[in-house]
Amino acid sequence: MRRLFLLVLIAAGIAAQLPGQLLQLRITGLDGLAAKAKESVDITLDSNLLQMAGGFLAGNGKDKDGKDLKAVLAGLKAITVRSFEFNEAGQYRIEDLEPIRAQLRTPGWSKIVSSQKKDEISEIYTRIEQGKVVGFAIISAEPKELAVIAIEGSIDLNDLSKLGGLGVPAIAIPDQGKKGKKE
């Protein structure tokens, strides 16, 4: 009986973990690229680290940027960034992105921006659950640059644009009829 109870408990634990794992985009197939890249960025921040980062930056700086950043991070559960910059073209194949793009074709994800040229891809996907954006992903592939970004949670682009003091470029938000609003 005790063993059965333990099994039920473990199963419940696994079930509780499942939605998070399903949502989380697994960035695979890019492992060998860092060695070929001139510069590479590999960032994985889970909710604990994001909370710590927000607390540190807001508490340490005690300035507006730190508080704005904390507000942006508060809406996030995880950030994963893999970015590579190469000296020359041809260091990766578009097919290397297929495992990631295949995940983004599963139900729940919607492609909202797609721009594809011969050797360039720019795609933005969002994941919507119960009418709320719960994550988004960006794939940006250029001959000498490749970036895959997965963000779990939601970001207000207006809030992100407030982080100019931290070197975050302002997002050029399309005009939505709010004339006179700064980009």
Partner 1 sequence: MNLDDELRAALRREDPSPGFAQRVVARAKSKPAPRSWFPKMMWATALAAMLVIGFGAMSEYRENQAERAGREAVLALRITAEKLNSARDKVIRREN
**Of residues 107 and 174, the one with the C-beta less far from partner 1:** 174
CB within 8 Å of 96: residues ≥ 6 apart: 29, 30, 33
Helix (H) or strand (E) holding 137: strand 132-142
- The CA distances from residue 82 to 16, 29, 130, 182, in Å, are 28, 11, 29, 30
From candidates 22, 34, 43, 74, binder to partner 1 by CB under 8 A = 43
φ/ψ of 32, rounded to 5, equals: -80, -5
| Contacting partner 1 within 100-159 (CB under 8 A) | 113, 115, 120, 122-124, 138, 140, 147, 149, 151, 155, 157
From candidates 25, 27, 77, 83, binder to partner 1 by CB under 8 A = 83
Look at residue 85 and give its three-state secondary structure.
strand
Look at residue 41 and give its three-state secondary structure.
strand
**Of residues 25 and 72, the one with the C-beta less far from partner 1:** 72
From candidates 13, 107, 131, 167, binder to partner 1 by CB under 8 A = 167
Under rule CB under 8 A, residue 14 binds partner 1: no
* Both structure tokens of 88: 């020359």
Note whether 54 and 74 are within 8 A (CB): yes
d(CA 168, CA 183): 13
Under rule CB under 8 A, residue 23 binds partner 1: no
Under rule CB under 8 A, residue 34 binds partner 1: no
In this chain, which stretch among 11-19, 31-39, 72-80, 95-103 interacts with partner 1, using CB under 8 A?
72-80
Under rule CB under 8 A, residue 74 binds partner 1: no
Q: What residues line the site for partner 1 (CB under 8 A)?
A: 41, 43, 45, 49-50, 52-57, 60, 69, 72-73, 79, 81, 83, 113, 115, 120, 122-124, 138, 140, 147, 149, 151, 155, 157, 160-161, 163, 166-172, 174
